[in-house]
Amino acid sequence: MRVKHSGPPPKNRNDWKTIRSLFPYLLEFKGRVVLALVLLVAAKVANVTVPLFLKEVVDSLNHPQTVLVLPVALLLGYGAMRFASTAFGELRDAVFAKVTQRAIRRVALKVFGHLHQLALRFHLERQTGGVSRDIERGTRGISFLLNFMLFNILPTLIEIALVAGILLKKYDIMFSVVIFVSLIVYIAFTLVITEWRMIFRRTMNDMDSKANTRAIDSLLNYETVKYFGNEEYEARRYDDNLKVWETAAVKNQTSLAALNTGQSVIIAIGVTVLMMLAGNGVVKGTMTLGDLVLVNAYMLQLYIPLHFLGFIYREIRHSLADMEKMFTLLEVNTEVSDKPNAPELVVKNSAVRFDHVSFGYDANRQILFDVSFDIPPGHTVAVVGSSGAGKSTLSRLLFRFYDVNQGKVMIDGQDIRDVTQKSMRASIGIVPQDTVLFNDSIYYNIAYGRPDATEEEIYQAAKYAHIHGFIETLPDKYETIVGERGLKLSGGEKQRVAIARTILKNPPILIFDEATSALDSKSEKAIQAELKLIAQNRTTLVIAHRLSTVVDANQILVMDHGRIIERGTHRELLDKGETYAQMWALQQQEEEIKKPLYAS
């Protein structure tokens, strides 16, 4: 098995664009941000004051005739400044914590909401495991970016500037020159090597998402894997991505070692040159022993944050790489969106009309060709035809999961593209062919049709769907967990839950998309009777394969290759003796063949 991973790594999003997109979340707590920055500066001022106190203490102790009170005061000042630098830093973190956590919450919620706004096309093509991992890494990256960018890079630069200023004022200019040269070489080296290393990080992220997608997809299809005995095959596919991830991770780690070594060499050279300058000054008498201690203390004080600066820059670049996929999700076009100031749908009679509708999922695959039909208020229109005729596409267009390429879909004379999607979908209920349930209780899944419904209404909906009796036989009754995608229930049980929650929603327009396809003949007849009762006084679109389920429809549309080729009542279509009549005869023949099998 070969992993298809060739060509350049994923193109990185503009880093400044990613950083700018975080600014609005910082402005939500302007006061906290300002206070945190003030505490940051105070902590760094206190930090650079510590070596100054230390110098005075050393110089005082170097003169025995000095009154003892003076070094004690200086020592107390030294301790106070060291405590202040730590205390201000901790206060800063405490003040800024709410800003960081709120930003993570807001961004995660925005991405989640945006994903629900995207068209069905995106969700049919998405890889759930990869998207999940992208969001997880992205939100984690926000916390790191905000904290380290504001509270490590900025204060480190402030500290370097303060130290350089003090050394420039008190000592020879060469001290500042050495610091700046070391800093420039260090930063240039870090930037170049880190940018080179980013290819490994992006490859790791890409393979991590793909491996997670593979794992989740395999686990969701656990039964299929077992049916075909493909556990080792699945493990190999999973490992294919992990191999590429491992290679990138090893290169990432070895290049990190090279980067750290190079940074240490640059800093060591800089510190050595400074100490030589300071030692030479002491020998010549232009600097005191306290000055030597001061320069050494500053170098040690700068060494840690400067070395840390390289680590922080690397991690910020990694965080930006982690965040770029998440923020890229926010840039995915919603495709189907409300018009500005779109009004809500006004439902009076619930009349549905498809007016010369043509549609294709892409330019090379047209599904519907000039489809026109009406569903008068309270009427039932059934659509039948072979697989791939375009039947289910009608329900997707009525729900506005896609916009038509030509023509209009209207409810009570209103083009559904001109009204809000929320109000339009609130007026339509659907029982789909493939029912997927939430991994929660049966009660939750039925109540999902109308979350504010009372218990009695939920029980009544279950009774209408002929599932209440079954639920009462379960040990946990309505609190029974249905499992991932409802896998703990049979197909028929899932279908009844779907029917119950649609009944609970109580919409004026109904869609039954092969609603009884998973039921046995006895259950199908019982639920068909209930569906007819529910459909009374409602506008209903029935998409069916078994013609016996639509014989009572006010009108039946026969579709073939995206076109309506026949229309009429069951009796009218039989009398025509064309496609519908042939389908009816064939299905009747199949039913006759099955009867002896059932009897045996």
Clarify whether residues 419 and 455 are in a common domain. Answer: no
Residues 57 and 113 in one domain: yes
Q: Of 425, 372, 307, 322, whose CA–CA distance to 559 is shortest?
A: 372
CATH code, domain carrying 217: 1.20.1560.10
539 part of a folded domain? yes
Mean pLDDT over 373-385 rounds to: 90
Specify which of 212-216, 283-287, 557-561 reaches the highest per-range mean pLDDT: 557-561
- Residue 315 is assigned to a structural domain of this protein: yes
Residues 410 and 473 occupy one common structural domain: no
Report the interhelical angle of 231-284 vs 289-330 (nearest 10°).
Answer: 150
pLDDT of the residue at 303: 65
Classify 8 as helix, strand or coil.
Answer: coil
In which band, very low, low, confident or very high, does the pLDDT at 557 lie, cut at 50, 70 and 90? Answer: very high
Count: domains in the chain? 3
On the question of pLDDT at 296 being above 60, the answer is yes
- The three-class DSSP label of residue 269 is helix
315 and 384 assigned to the same domain? no
Average pLDDT in the chain: 78
Per the domain annotation, does 169 fall within a domain? yes
596 and 491 in one domain? Answer: no
Based on the fold, state whether residues 456 and 563 are members of the same structural domain: no
User: Do 514 and 398 belong to one domain?
Assistant: yes
The pLDDT tens digits for 415-471 are: 989 999 888 888 888 888 777 788 888 898 898 888 888 999 999 988 888 888 888
Whether residue 319 has pLDDT greater than 70? yes
Residues 497 and 537 in one domain: no
Same domain, 514 and 368: yes
Confidence of residue 555 (pLDDT cuts 50, 70, 90): very high
**Does position 257 have pLDDT exceeding 80, yes or no?**
yes
Position 335 in a domain? no
Rounded distance, CA 512 to CA 136, Å? 37
Residue of 224 and 503 predicted with greater confidence: 503
Q: pLDDT tens, 66-100? A: 455 556 676 777 777 778 777 877 887 788 777 77
Residues 348 and 467 in one domain: no
In the chain, % of residues over pLDDT 70: 80
Tell me what pLDDT residue 128 has. Answer: 60
By residue range, what is the domain housing residue 266?
15-330
Which pLDDT score, from 0 to 100, does residue 151 have? 64
CA distances from 264 to 161, 175, 188, 261, 313 (A): 21, 19, 14, 5, 15
Considering the domain boundaries, does residue 3 fall inside one?
no
Q: Which residue has the higher pLDDT, 322 or 39?
A: 39
pLDDT of residue 5 exceeding 50: no
Same domain, 239 and 363: no
Tens digit of each residue's pLDDT (9 = 90 or more) over 512-524: 887 666 566 666 6
Count CB neighbours of 289 within 10 A. Answer: 13
Same domain, 173 and 213: yes
Q: How far is CA 507 from CA 412, 428, 433, in A?
A: 15, 5, 19
- Indicate whether 576 pLDDT > 60: yes
Stronger pLDDT, 38 or 376, i.e. the higher one: 376
As a three-state string, the secondary structure of 417-447 is CCCCHHHHHHCEEEECCCCCCCCCEHHHHHH
Query: Is there a domain that residue 7 lies in?
Result: no
pLDDT at 11 over 70: no
When computed from its CA atoms, the radius of gyration of the chain, rounded to whole angstroms, is 35
In CATH, what number is assigned to the domain containing residue 480? 3.40.50.300
One DSSP character per residue, 206-265 reads HHHHHHHHHHHHHHHTHHHHHHTT-HHHHHHHHHHHHHHHHHHHHHHHHHHHHHHHHHHH
What pLDDT sits at residue 38? 83
pTM for this model (two decimals): 0.62
Percent of the chain clearing pLDDT 90 (strictly above) = 6
